[in-house]
Every structure is written in C-alpha cells, then in structure tokens.
Amino acid sequence: MSAAEPRATFVSILESELRQQQVGPGIREYKAGEVIFEEGDPGDGLYAILDGLVRISAFVSQSNKHALREFATGDFFGEMAIINNAPRSASATAMRDSRLMFVSRGQVVDLMERSPPLVFALLHAFSHRMRETNSHFVQEMIEAERLSLMGRFARSIVHDLKNPLSVIALAADAAASGRASPELRAQAKKRIHQQVQRLTHMLNELLRVSEGSTQHALEPVNFAAYFAEVIDQTRDELENKKVTVEVQTSVPDVVLPLNTRRLDHVFFNLFNNAADFMPDGGRIMVRFQQTPAEIHAEVEDTGPGFKPGIVQKLFTPFFTDGKPSGTGLGLSICKNIVEDHGGRIWPREVAGCGGVFCFTLPLKTAAA
C-alpha cells in the first residue's frame, strides 16, 4: 500500500458519505501563495485537496517559520481540528492554484457518528500519518547526529593529516639537498607520492562521512602484495618515531575481498596508536594466521599496554585516554571498517605485554 493510499481512501469515503447524506461540501479556491489558515486560527474543519498543492508550516521560534510538510491532490489536512477541537497548530498555504473541499467539524463529526467505515478510514489515515512523521523525525535526528559526528570527525582527520605532512616535509627536504643522490631523490619522490595518495584517501573518507554514504565496495586483492605496500608506506613514518615493525609470520598469500583504501586506515591507526604509546621508540610485532574461512591478524606493541579498566571502552566513539590530542575516533573507525569487511576486531590483554589488537578478515564475502 502506498503511503498516500489510506488518505485517498478517507477522502473518497468522506465524499461518498457527503453525497449520501446530501450534504453539499464547501468548495474553496486559493491562488498560489494564498494563506488557507494561520497558526492559532480556530480549528473549524478539515480540507481535502481536489486539485492543488498545500504547504503546512509552523513557527519554530518567534520569527522563524519551518515548513513541516506538503500535501498534494487526493490528500487532506487540518484533521487535528476534528480530533481535539483546538486552534490550528500550524499554518497552511497554497503552493499553486488549488481547489479544496472544506468540511466543517460539525459535518465530519455528524458523518462519523453514522458511518463506522469513515471513522476507520480516518483512524487508518491518521496512524499512517503518525508513522510517517515518526520516521521523518528519526531521519532528522540521524542527520543532526551525523553532522555533529562530522565536526568531531573533521578534528580527527585534521589531526591524522599531520603524519603524512611531516613525511612529505622530510622527503622534500632530503630531495632538495644539494648532496642528494639520484636514488635518494627518486625515493623521496616515491614517498611524497605515497603520502599525497594517503592524504587524498583521508579526505575522501571525510567526504564519505559528510555524504552519509555507507557503500564501500570490496574487490579481490592479494593480501601478501597488499600488506607489503602497507609496510612500505608506514616504514619511514615509524622509523622517524624510532619504531620498527617486525612481521613474525608469513603473510597469507591469498586473494580475498578487500577495500584496501579503508583497510589501510586500520593498519595505520593501530601502528600510530602503538607508536603514540612508545614515545622513546619500540617494536610492533605483526602476526598472521590463515584458516579455511579467514585471515587472523595480530598487532602487538612493546608499549605499556592498556590501562586497567579501559578495554571494554576502547571501541566506543570518542573514548580517549592518555593522549592529549586524542579524539577517540581511531579505533571506532577501525571497528567499522573491519566489520564492513565481515570481520571482527578486539583487544587482547596479555599480562606483561604491550597493547595487542586482533582482527579477522573473511576469505569470502557474506553474499558469496
């Protein structure tokens, strides 16, 4: 059933009841822009739209009127007056030349007393309208939440931009040095190119959040080749922080569905978090295990490990602890990304170890 159907049913039952009772409805015509009723006017009856378009709006502050919704041919409005006999809670304006059928409150109440189908049709139309209003409200709430998340997310991205920018600055300095060999220049060019790509990905991620998109395509990728690039892209930045990455197992040489741009974010984030907790340098150990269904990855660092009592909160958006410039978004974004791949991510508390994060990546998509 379309959303407009219960309303059209009510209007057609109302018309037929009026005919049967030989009550002539009032036909009213309005020019485009003409006000039909104002907020606060007496609620004297309801209107069915025989032909036209009507906007309902209400004051949200003293001077600010907000359009609530629009009704087109076949629909009706002003029914609250029938139900609660109170002044109009909103204004109605014709958005184009409109022909309306006006039925006074007394007439509708009279017809309803005689016709149970009319009562049922009004209730049906009314409950549909409530449901629509509800979902509209939920959408608005989601939008408001998304916009506020956007602002906070922008902060985190701006923070994350600093890492690639410092690598670019170092590489540019090295390349510009009069003593730089052609190899060193070529290497600096490659680094700058990689980091510019990384910046572009981050900005795209920000754009995706701002667009509210949740579509993230996965493509078949060889994991070993992909992970070699991750190491290549992060090595310099980590070396600058005196952090080395040890890959302690073989890297699964298997093709699986990945969105590499997004998965980059998971590795970069786990590595950067580890480095943040090892200000005097340290080691990051990466281990993989392949099962028939998935790749299991583990990232361990030689830092102090998780503070007591915070493990349950690590993936909660905006939870941050022990980092002056932390936003608390990194791990929650990692969780989203891993889950969009169909995997799971969790921390592992091991006595005497630093921070350990594990995550899985399925070898096949859920659909396959």
Q: In angstroms, what is the minimal distance from the CB of 112 to ligand ADP?
A: 58
Smallest separation, CB 216 to ligand ADP (Å): 20
Q: At residue 258, what is the residue type?
A: L
Whether residue 271 contacts residue 335, with contact meaning beta carbons closer than 8 Å, is answered with: no
- Identify which of 193, 267, 287 has the alpha carbon closest to the alpha carbon of residue 226: 267
The CB-of-320 to ligand ADP minimum distance in angstroms stands at 3
Binding site for ligand ADP (CB under 6 A): 269, 273-274, 277, 301, 303, 306, 310, 314, 319-323, 326-332, 355
- Residue 220 beta carbon to ligand ADP: minimum distance, rounded to whole angstroms: 29
Between residues 42 and 279, which has the closer beta carbon with respect to ligand ADP?
279
For residues 43 and 343, which CB has a smaller minimum distance to ligand ADP in the complex? Answer: 343
Residue 79: strand, helix, or coil: coil
Enclosing H/E stretch for 249: none
Q: Report the nearest approach of ligand ADP to the CB of residue 202 (Å).
A: 14
Given CA atoms 199, 201, 207, 209 in this order, what sign does their dihedral have? Answer: negative
Overall size of the chain counted in residues: 368
Per DSSP bridges, beta strands 243-247 and 282-290 are parallel
Q: Which amino acid is at 177?
A: S
- Token pair listed for 181: 């060999």
Closest CB to ligand ADP among 43 and 330? 330
Quick check: 185 and 177 in contact, CB under 8 A?
no
- Residue (188 or 299) nearer to ligand ADP, CB: 299
Q: What is the nearest approach in angstroms of ligand ADP to the Cβ of residue 325?
A: 7
Using the minimum distance from each CB to ligand ADP, give the nearer residue, 49 or 206: 206
* Closer to ligand ADP by Cβ: residue 328 or 343: 328
Residue 258 or 331: which CB sits closer to ligand ADP?
Answer: 331
C-alpha 294: how far from its chain's center?
28
Q: How far is the CB of 299 from ligand ADP (least distance, A)?
A: 8
Bridge partners, residue 57, by sequence: 67, 91
Nearest by Cα to 53 from 31, 84, 78, 25? 31
